[in-house]
């Protein structure tokens, strides 16, 4: 990729035709509410290292499935087809290894209902290690921590006033020993009350498990932070969007509270998969890929920079669109809401998502969680800000090499066409400060930082937590299997009955091990040709990432380790 340059400094007469040639391979699929790239184009390759990691993940999954069938005592609807050495190589050569190595075994006969929490380890994990969260999941401390370092870690917001739809009181707050002498009104005024809500999910129909109903909820949860700052203490949950016909539960409500926690987690995790993960990383970046491939020459500096951050994205997105999120496929098996409703929810959320309002510092400020004096340890926030700033500074130094002033930005016809495509065709809302155009260097730096952060760190934070936090289903269920609780006095049996059956737990482990098991490419590593003019700038970025790695390692000595934004664990792109 010699001679990286902006178009006004490129004398080539074929540049425009070359862009159009590449663009022919990147056409939009408009079957859904939002445009998506139809298929892989000339710049999307199958990296053998990715194939290798995928295959290794499959071997682990298959090994565990084999042991599950043999040792769990569960009887599955479908047989695990035995591996035959005769056709193994041809199976692998012809593709479709997923069906072979990580098949859905169907439901358990006569029922997969767990009898105890222990069943979720003893009948599910054999040759895959039980994740650490299994030993600490059943506590309010961990429940609060999930919103700060779990799979969906940027949803918690400061409460400014008590919502009419969620009428929490002093009594609720004082149900937690640490707040026995506190006052809700004072705590609100002091900015110490936080909440998470998923009320929009009330519009989604429930999905179905073949052996019975499953449920999705639209809950509210409230949290308090002690005076002087600290962690999140959950103190109130309402399992539906409005108070009519509902009670608000507190930690004093025993197993009813635990079922209410399940309701919150189910909704939060359904939202994670469908909105935060699929919609706001995969599908958002898809539109950025399309605009880049279709409007920037491969020698354009922004194409050259972003290319590494788009490695494998189209490949995995096409697979997700045509397989994973379709009726009867894996996502439907796992999540609580109807799959077609979920597709719409994902698309709706992606189209409504303001690109500019979600730059990491902006979002954290908007949600009232930027200040470190109240929620003192918020692993996602604390680590994401470090990485965001490092990416921002790297992109700044890169942009300054290629654009000497803001006028050059405005005169770059490819760049302006790129912004117009992302806004008008890709339907990215608020793509920069002047959507449809790039105003100046700062605008470009912010846009590109957001693309890189979303493709790399943000996706890492929401993808790899699937392995550490979600494979042990009681810690992070994706659906409920009994209606939201009414009244009080529920038992341990009721709590376990609300959790997914073991066939879902087995399939969850298989699918999420696959998704979290491929960590391919690394933030800060680029193709050598791209680095020719920016060697010193890139070296500074790499050193900065190494510093951040050390800082996070130090932080992890003082908190439940949060590893997902350690730079060495952040892939450069969404490729799984």
Partner 1 sequence: MESKLSRRIFLGSSLATSSMAFANGSFIAWLATPDAEEIVFKILKEHFQLRDEQRHLAKGLIARLRTPDLHTESPAAFQAKLDGKEGAEELECYVVEEFIAGSTYLAMLNGQATELQILRA
- Residue showing tokens 């929620």: 375
The stretch near partner 1 (CB under 8 A) out of 52-60, 148-156, 326-334, 532-540 is 52-60
108-117: b or e for each residue (b if 16 or more CB lie within 10 Å)?
A: beeebbbeeb
Closest distance of CB 532 from partner 1, Å: 24
- State the alpha helices, DSSP H only, in 95-227: 97-101, 119-122, 140-149, 170-173, 184-189
Minimum distance of partner 1 from residue 523's CB (angstroms)? 20
User: Judged by CB under 8 A, does residue 42 bind partner 1?
Assistant: no
Out of 1, 33, 59, 539, the only residue in the binding site for partner 1 (CB under 8 A) is 59
**Among 57-65, 309-317, 461-469, 507-515, the segment contacting partner 1 (CB under 8 A):** 57-65
Phi, psi (deg, nearest 5) at residue 236: -155, 135
Q: Which residue number, 87 or 116, has a Cβ lying nearer to partner 1?
A: 87
One-character DSSP codes across 284-342:
HHHHHHHHHHHHS-TTSHHHHHHHGGGTTHHHHHHHIIIIITSTTSHHHHH-SB-HHHH
Considering the complex, what minimum distance in angstroms separates the CB of residue 87 from partner 1? 10
Q: How far is the CB of 72 from partner 1 (least distance, A)?
A: 14
Using rule CB under 8 A, residue 83 touches partner 1: yes
The stretch among 63-71, 238-246, 353-361, 531-539 that binds partner 1 (CB under 8 A) is 63-71
∠ CA 362-366-368, rounded to 5°: 120
Q: Which of 1, 33, 39, 88 binds partner 1 (CB under 8 A)?
A: 88
| 48/228 with CB nearer partner 1 | 48
Q: Is 46 one of the binding residues for partner 1 (CB under 8 A)?
A: yes
Can you tell me which of 27, 43, 92, 425 binds partner 1, judged by CB under 8 A?
A: 92
In the complex, minimum distance from the CB of residue 309 to partner 1, in angstroms, rounded to a whole number: 21
Q: Does residue 126 touch partner 1 according to CB under 8 A?
A: yes
The answer to whether 60 contacts partner 1 (rule: CB under 8 A) is yes
Residue 94 binds partner 1, judged by CB under 8 A: no
Report the residue number, 63 or 344, with the smaller CB distance to partner 1: 63
Which residue is it, tokens 């654009």? 403
| Geometric angle at alpha carbon 268, from 266 and 274, rounded to 5° | 100
Q: Residues 127-156 vs partner 1: string with x where CB under 8 A?
A: x-----------------------------
For the beta carbon of residue 231, count every other beta carbon within 10 angstroms: 18
- Out of 23, 51, 433, 497, point to the residue binding partner 1 (CB under 8 A): 51
Sheet containing 233-238: which strands, arranged edge to edge?
Answer: 157-158, 193-197, 220-224, 233-238
Q: Shortest CA distance to 225 belongs to which of 110, 338, 145?
A: 145
Among 11, 14, 31, 86, binds partner 1 (CB under 8 A): 86
Shortest distance, position 493 Cβ to partner 1, whole Å? 33
Binding of residue 525 to partner 1 (CB under 8 A) = no
Q: Are 106 and 76 in contact (CB under 8 A)?
A: yes
Q: Compute the Cα dihedral for 142, 120, 507, 520 and give only its sign.
A: positive
Identify the residue among 10, 23, 25, 63 touching partner 1 (CB under 8 A): 63
Q: Quick one: 82 or 558, whose CB is closer to partner 1?
A: 82
Q: Write down the least CB distance from residue 51 to partner 1, Å.
A: 4
| DSSP H or E stretch at residue 555 | helix 535-556
Contact region with partner 1 (CB under 8 A), list: 44-52, 289-297, 493-501, 560-568: 44-52
Helix ranges (H only) for 72-183 are 85-94, 97-101, 119-122, 140-149, 170-173
Which residues make Cβ contacts (< 8 Å) with residue 249, sequence separation at least 6?
Answer: 236, 237, 238, 239, 256, 257, 260, 485, 488
3-state secondary structure of 354: strand
Taking the least distance from each CB to partner 1, the nearer of 82 and 557 is 82
Which phi and psi (to 5°) does residue 213 adopt?
A: -75, 155
CA atoms within 13 A on the CB side of 131: 21
The region of 46-54, 290-298, 544-552, 553-561 touching partner 1 under the rule CB under 8 A is 46-54
Q: Is 206 helix (H, G, I), strand (E, B) or coil?
A: strand
User: CB under 8 A: which stretch of 45-53, 134-142, 225-233, 262-270 binds partner 1?
Assistant: 45-53
CB of 59 to partner 1, least distance (A): 4
Q: Is residue 55 near partner 1 by the rule CB under 8 A? A: yes
Alpha carbon distance, N-terminus to C-terminus of the chain: 26
Binding residues for partner 1, total number by CB under 8 A:
23
Judged by CB, which is closer to partner 1: 86, or 373? 86
3-class SS at 226? coil
- Count of residues making up the chain: 576
The C-alpha atoms of residue 466 and residue 454 are separated, in whole angstroms, by 17
Three-state SS string over 453-521 comes to HHHHHHHHHHHCHHHHHCCCHHHCCCCECCCCCCCCCCCHHHHHHHCCCHHHHHHHHHHHHHHHCCCCC
Q: Tokens 């922004």 sit at which residue?
A: 302
Q: Which residue, 142 or 573, is less far from partner 1 as judged by CB?
A: 573
Q: How far is the CB of 45 from partner 1 (least distance, A)?
A: 8
271 vs 131: CA distance, rounded Å: 22
Minimum distance from CB of 67 to partner 1 (Å)? 7
Nearer to partner 1, 61 or 290 (CB): 61
Question: Minimum Å distance from CB 312 to partner 1?
Answer: 13
When asked if residue 81 is in the footprint of partner 1 (CB under 8 A), the reply is no
Q: Which is nearer to partner 1, 16 or 70 (CB)?
A: 70
C-beta of residue 103 within 8 angstroms of C-beta of residue 78: yes
- Smaller CB distance to partner 1: residue 47 or 341? 47
**Nearer CB in complex with partner 1: 14/93:** 93
Which segment (79-87, 145-153, 195-203, 270-278) binds partner 1 by CB under 8 A? 79-87
The contact set with partner 1 (CB under 8 A) reads 46-48, 51-52, 55-56, 59-60, 63, 66-67, 82-86, 88-89, 92-93, 126-127
């Amino acid at each position: 990729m010699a001679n990286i340059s902006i178009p006004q400094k490129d004398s080539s007469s074929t540049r425009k035709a070359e862009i159009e040639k590449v663009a022919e391979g990147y056409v939009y699929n408009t079957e859904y509410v939002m445009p998506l790239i139809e298929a892989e184009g000339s710049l999307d390759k199958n990296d053998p290292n990715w194939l290798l990691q995928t295959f290794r993940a499959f071997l682990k999954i298959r090994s565990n499935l084999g042991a599950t069938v043999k040792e769990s005592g569960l009887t599955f609807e479908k047989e695990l087809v035995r591996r035959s050495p005769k056709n193994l190589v041809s199976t692998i050569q012809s593709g479709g290894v997923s069906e072979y190595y990580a098949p859905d075994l169907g439901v358990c006969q006569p029922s997969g209902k767990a009898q105890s929490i222990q069943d979720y380890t003893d009948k599910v994990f054999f040759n895959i290690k039980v994740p650490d969260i299994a030993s600490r999941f059943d506590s309010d401390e961990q429940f609060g921590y999930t919103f700060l370092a779990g799979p969906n870690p940027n949803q918690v917001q400061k409460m400014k006033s008590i919502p009419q739809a969620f009428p929490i009181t002093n009594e609720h707050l004082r149900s937690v020993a640490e707040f026995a002498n506190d006052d809700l009104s004072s705590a609100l005024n002091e900015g110490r009350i936080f909440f998470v809500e998923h009320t929009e999910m009330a519009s989604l129909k429930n999905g179905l498990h073949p052996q019975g109903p499953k449920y999705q909820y639209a809950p509210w949860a409230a949290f308090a932070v002690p005076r002087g700052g600290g962690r999140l203490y959950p103190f109130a949950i309402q399992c539906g969007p409005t108070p009519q016909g509902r009670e608000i539960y507190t930690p004093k409500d025993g197993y009813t509270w635990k079922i209410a926690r399940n309701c919150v987690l189910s909704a939060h995790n359904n939202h994670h998969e469908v909105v935060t993960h699929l919609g706001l990383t995969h599908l958002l970046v898809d539109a950025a890929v399309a605009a880049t491939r279709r409007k920037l020459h491969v020698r354009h500096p922004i194409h050259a920079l972003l290319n590494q951050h788009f490695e494998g994205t189209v490949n995995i997105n096409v697979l997700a669109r045509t397989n994973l999120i379709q009726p009867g496929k894996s996502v439907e098996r796992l999540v609580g809401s109807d799959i077609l409703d979920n597709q719409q929810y994902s698309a709706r959320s992606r189209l409504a998502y303001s690109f500019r309002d979600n730059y990491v510092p902006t979002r954290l400020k908007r949600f009232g969680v930027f200040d470190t004096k109240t929620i003192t340890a918020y692993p996602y926030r604390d680590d994401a800000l470090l990485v965001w700033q490092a990416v921002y500074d790297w992109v700044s130094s890169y942009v300054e090499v290629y654009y000497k002033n803001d006028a050059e930005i405005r005169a770059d016809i490819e760049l302006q066409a790129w912004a117009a495509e992302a806004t008008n065709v890709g339907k990215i809302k608020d793509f920069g400060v002047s959507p449809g155009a790039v105003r100046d260097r700062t605008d470009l730096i912010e846009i590109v930082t957001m693309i890189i952060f979303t493709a790399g760190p943000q996706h890492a934070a929401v993808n790899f937590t699937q392995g550490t936090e979600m494979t042990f289903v009681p810690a992070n269920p994706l659906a409920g299997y009994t209606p939201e609780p009414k009244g009080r006095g529920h038992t341990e049996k009721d709590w376990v009955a609300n959790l997914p059956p073991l066939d879902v737990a087995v399939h969850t482990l298989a699918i999420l091990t696959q998704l979290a098991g491929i960590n391919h490419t690394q933030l800060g590593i680029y193709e050598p040709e791209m680095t020719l003019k920016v060697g010193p700038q890139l070296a500074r970025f790499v050193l900065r990432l190494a510093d951040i790695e050390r800082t996070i390692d130090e932080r992890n000595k003082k908190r439940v380790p949060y590893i997902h934004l350690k730079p060495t664990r952040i892939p450069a792109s969404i490729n799984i």
